[in-house]
Structure 1
Amino acid sequence: MRISVVVPARDEEETIGDCLSALARAAARCPVPVEVVVVADRCVDGTADVARAAGVRVVRTRAGSVGAARRAGVTAALIGLPLSQQWIASTDADSRVPAQWLRHHAAVAASGVDLLLGTVRLDGLVTSHTRWRERYAAGEWASGHRHVHGANLGVRASVYRAAGGFPPLPAHEDRVLAERVRELPAARVLSSTEFPVLTSSRLLGRAPAGVAHDLSA
């Protein structure tokens, strides 16, 4: 089995290094091989150079859409192994995964789960963005949560393909994929609050309807 981590990025020269360092720490603790694919989408800065210097695979696109970028990254990642032997993990260039994140993905995949939906936490002071934090916490409970984030998502490659993959949308491509997977017969979906991903609390994001949009609303 192999885990491929897809990271879409548009002009994330300042954040991609920390993102990839966190992924490297997580990969070192993962019991299966890990490949990281950074999709530099319409980048005019040094995002691709920073990613290459970190030793990861870089795919360049001109789509200008996070959904299309994620889709291109997965397409590149799926070359080389049977779908049954691949798990796709997704995060964002302005996010940092915890050290046990990929190990968790490997265990979930081995258990037979087809789609893993994780949660996020904001960086910065816990006293900032209190309204968002309160609303977000209200969507979490002991048995799971209601959130869907491209910054913390994993899917079995064969199920990803059966669901039609990430749609090439400017936003909410993660939610659409999750809905499509849920519609598949016998698909197993796990909404887990374990190992949340630390994501940026900036107010100006790259996706038109992402966390930054919610924080600035």
Structure 2
Amino acid sequence: MRPTVGVVVPARNEEARIGACLEALAAQRDVDLARMLVVLVLDDCTDGTRAMSLAVAARRPALRLRLINCSGRGAGPARALGMRHARDAIDSDDRFALLLSTDADTRVGPAWIASQIAAVGNGSLAIGGLIDLDPDEARRHPAAVEARARRAPGRLLAVRRHTAGAEHHHFSGASFALTPATYDRIGGLPDPEVLEDEALERHLRERDVPICYLRSVQVVTSARLDGRVRGAGLAHALRAAVGDG
């Protein structure tokens, strides 16, 4: 049976977090795991990320997990490579087929996939999920969290200039989804070494693909300040916010 849902997870040296990421995917509600493929892209990992992932697969035999290797050029090329693999693997003729992205330091909500399949049934072509910070980690960085909250209303207004009904402003590698037809229409994912999610958001707008920013699609991501992407990404933004005071 070919999968109809492909989930891409790029990872670089995430042995401490990849287990929780994969467990959250394995615990999805109202989804047939036999129709879901998780493509984990090991981006030049030098730690135990592979071993931890295989341990989860052994505990969760219903989880279809495919591990592929990448050269270490960054999250953008790794995510794009994973999406190409997922696109080739899924049955795109299914009307609810979907290509999704999350991150190795992220735990998707239990209805993450089901909510997005429902959105596709209602005509969504591209979906951005709501990104919450891990509460335990966020408590260690109150200044950064407060700065993030202060900026949120302005960013939501900016998004609503393009999408009037946007429920939030997030469009992140931690939670986005495309229908296969949308993926094909835009020619695949852009693959800069960093900020590939922002590049994709621009790419979709330039091609007049509407984005649904849905609060029903939720993930919890790390609030660490030492992210894997130098000079960009959420960790960099939080660290900069601390500097802003």
If the length of structure 2 is used for normalisation, what is the TM-score? 0.80
The CA deviation string for residues 130-152 of structure 1, in whole angstroms up to 9 with x for no partner, is 22233235544874233221101
Unaligned runs of 5+ in 1: none
TM-score (norm 1): 0.90
Other-structure match for 2:212: 190
**Separation in 2, partners of 1:30, 1:133:** 33
Q: After TM superposition, give the deviation of residue 194 of structure 1 in Å.
A: 2.1
Q: 1:3 aligned to 2:25?
A: no
Matched residue, 2:31: 30
Question: What residue in structure 1 maps to residue 113 of structure 2?
Answer: 102
The match for 2:146 is 130
- Give aligned pairs, total: 215
- The equivalent of 1:20 in structure 2 is 22
Bigger mean CA deviation after superposition, 159-168 or 61-70 = 159-168
Q: Which letter maps to 1:156?
A: T
Q: 1:195 is paired with a residue of what secondary structure?
A: strand
2-side partners of 1:58 and 1:91: how far apart?
A: 15
Query: Does 152-161 or 122-131 show the bigger shift?
Result: 122-131
Give the Cα separation in 1 of the matches to 2:46 and 2:25: 24
Aligned-partner Cα distance in 2 for 1:70–1:40: 10
1:63 and 2:85 aligned = no
What's the secondary structure of 2:98's corresponding residue?
strand
Contact 2:4 2:92 in 1 (8 A): no
Where in structure 2 are the equivalents of 1:76-87 lying within 5 Å?
76-85=85-94, 86-87=97-98
Structure 1 residues 30, 95: CA separation in 2 closer, same or farther (over 3 Å shift)?
same
More off after superposition, 175-184 vs 152-161: 175-184
For residue 168 of structure 1, the aligned residue among 154, 176, 191 is 191
Instruction: Give the secondary structure class of the aligned counterpart of 1:44.
Output: coil
Q: What's the % identity of the aligned pairs?
A: 33
Report the secondary structure of 1:118's partner residue: strand
Q: CA RMSD in A?
A: 2.1
Q: 1:86-130 deviations in whole A, cap 9, x for unaligned?
A: 311110000101111111111112222110011211113565222
Residue in structure 2 matched with residue 177 of structure 1 by the alignment: 200
Cα shift at 1:84: 4.1
More helix by share: 2
User: In structure 2, how many angstroms separate the alpha carbons of the residues matched to 1:214 and 1:177?
Assistant: 19
Given that 1:52 and 1:58 are in contact with CA atoms closer than 8 Å, whether structure 2 keeps it comes out as no
Distance verdict in 2 for CA 1:137–1:124, change over 3 Å: farther
Indicate how the Cα distance of structure 1 residues 184 and 138 shifts in structure 2: closer, same or farther if over 3 A, else same. closer
The gaps in structure 2 that reach 5 residues or longer are 58-64, 158-164, 241-245
DSSP 3-state at the match of 1:197: strand
| 1:130 match: secondary structure | helix
Q: Is the 8 A contact 1:51 1:57 kept in 2?
A: no
